[in-house]
Structure 1
Amino acid sequence: MIRAKDDPLALFADWYAEAEKSEPNDPSAMALATVGADGTPSCRMVLLKGYDASGFVFYTNYESRKGRQLLAHPKAALLFHWKSLRRQVRLEGSISQTTPQEADAYFATRDRGSQIGAWASDQSRPLESRFALEKRVAEFTARHVIGKVPRPPHWSGFRLQPLLIEFWQDGAFRLHDRLEYSRPAAGAPWSTRTLYP
């Protein structure tokens, strides 16, 4: 049985800490679902880079498919699946952009190769050959031989402010435990309910 807490972030923090200890792969990996202009959903894996009362943060190229979709339709869903713990957490909510200062601070923590890659990759666009990508990496490496690599203007972060968080825990005979937190707007009190498996 999932033990409810008044604040779902406190419960998430407990589960995330357990995942960091036991999950053999990246516990910060989460599926991100967005929607295109025609209403078609799109899903891919991204990495959680921080969370607090203001939301769950991840970074990407704003000119990528997901970046364009989130800028046009600022709502999304996230899913954490920690197979080693037989648990998952679903989140749905509104999207906002991180501040340039937040993006700069995170970008500065990335290794230099990843920083160069953010400049070199025209993410989600057609790639004529692997050689073309390697050539762009070499070009941007040469441009930034000395000093810090600045953050590209098209690379920044998004924050999902959840309006729904569902905790799921595997149960015998598929009688899983499900606990849902929801609220009508950011900052409003959370209500909880248990759901049938």
Structure 2
Amino acid sequence: MMHADAVRALTSWTAAEADQEQLRGDYLAHLAEHQDGLWRSCRPAHLTASAAVVDPAAGRVLLTLHPKVGLWLQMGGHCEPGDETLAAAALREATEESGITGLRLLSGADGHPSPVKLDRHRVRCAGKDQPENTHLDVQYVAVAPAGARELISEESLDLRWFAYDELPELTDVSVRRLVDRARELTA
């Protein structure tokens, strides 16, 4: 069920840029080749789900200081067997890592929560004694309810709101592009 949903989500999503369209094609090819392509056990690559948690009224994004990577990132991670959809995985991760209930994912024209960006990156998620693999991250935007209060989880070294124009130095280009896209879509 989740595999079919991931194919539907990626097929119905319209990429805004040529590089994003290329990634979309690569992700769909990966899913066509791997029925287990959403699970951590799929090597050398698997899909992951993440979300930029934003407060559009205040012009800010909530980022987590990732303990393994040492960078400020959006909320996200691996799909789990209890997740029914890719969007549900992104929302679960965003809720768990932010401590905020009532998050709402942005929807596409079809009324379903829709990805806003894709990012492919190498990681060592199976342990430092294991080879690197590739995360095929499907990124969403989660809008926080008014007055939302974050609560740090054990998966984070720190958790903070940052103004869209004042992201910390320890962010990568992927996070900056995701925040720009979130800002554009929620303006």
Q: Normalising by structure 1, what TM-score?
A: 0.26
Q: As a proportion of its length, which structure holds more strand?
A: 1
Task: Pick 1 or 2: higher relative contact order, CA cutoff 8 A, min separation 6.
Answer: 2
Q: Which has the larger radius of gyration?
A: 1
TM-score, length basis structure 2: 0.27
